[in-house]
Amino acid sequence: AQTIHQWPVAEIKAVGSPLSLGCTIKGKSSPNLYWYWQATGGTLQQLFYSITVGQVESVVQLNLSASRPKDDQFILSTEKLLLSHSGFYLCAWSLRGDSDYTFGSGTRLLVI
Amino acid sequence: GQQVQQSPASLVLQEGENAELQCNFSSTATRLQWFYQRPGGSLVSLLSNPSGTKHTGRLTSTTVTKERRGSLHISSSQITDSGTYLCAMGAASSSFSKLVFGQGTSLSVVP
Any CB–CB contact under 8 A between A104 and chain B?
Answer: yes
Distance from CA of B30 to the nearest CA of A (A): 7
On the question of pLDDT at B1 being above 80, the answer is no
User: Which residues of A are less than 8 Å from B49 in CB distance?
Assistant: none
Question: Given this model, what pLDDT does residue A72 score?
Answer: 94
Cβ A100–B96 below 8 Å, yes or no? no
User: Which pLDDT score is estimated for B50?
Assistant: 84
- CATH code of the domain made up of A3-111: 2.60.40.10
pLDDT of residue A55: 93
**pLDDT (average), residues B25-37:** 87
Closest chain A residue to B88 measured between Cα atoms?
A44
Instruction: Measure Cα distances from A86 to A6, A12, A46 in Å.
Output: 17, 9, 15
Q: What is the CA radius of gyration of chain B?
A: 14
On average, the pLDDT of chain B sits at 91
- How confident is the model at residue B96, as a pLDDT? 62
CB contacts, 8 Å: A43 with chain B: 101-104
Say yes or no to pLDDT of B91 above 90.
Answer: no
B33 touches chain A (CB under 8 A): yes
pLDDT of residue A66: 97
Q: CB contact, 8 Å: A94 with chain B? A: yes
- How far apart are alpha carbons B99 and B90 in whole angstroms? 5
* Helix, coil or strand: residue B79: helix
Instruction: Please tell me which of the candidates A46, A101, A108 has its beta carbon nearest to residue B33.
Output: A101
Task: Tell me how close the Cα of B91 comes to any Cα of chain A, in angstroms.
Answer: 8
Other residues' Cβ atoms within 10 Å of the Cβ of residue A83: 9
Neighbouring CB atoms inside 10 A of B30's CB total: 16
Within the 32-71 window of chain A, which residues sit less than 8 Å (CB to CB) from chain B?
32, 34, 38, 42-46, 49, 51, 57, 59
pLDDT band at B66 (very low <50, low <70, confident <90, very high): confident
Of residues A18, A53, A56, A1, the one with CA closest to residue A34: A56
Minimal C-alpha gap between A76 and chain B (Å):
18
CATH topology of domain B4-106: Immunoglobulin-like (2.60.40)
Q: What is the mean pLDDT of residues B74-103?
A: 86
Q: Is B30 on the interface with A (CB under 8 A)?
A: yes
Which residue is closest to B97 within chain A, CA to CA? A97
Domain assignments of chain B as residue spans, ordered by start: 4-106
**Does residue B95 surpass a pLDDT of 60?**
no
Torsion of CA B48, B70, A34, A20, to 10 degrees: -110
- Higher-confidence position of A100 and B110: B110
Residue B83 has pLDDT above 50, yes or no: yes
Confidence of residue B94 (pLDDT cuts 50, 70, 90): very low
Question: Are B96 and A32 within 8 A, CB to CB?
Answer: yes
pLDDT of B107 reads 96
Regions in chain A scoring below 50 on pLDDT: none
pLDDT number for residue B49 = 85
DSSP B93-104: -SS-EEEEE---
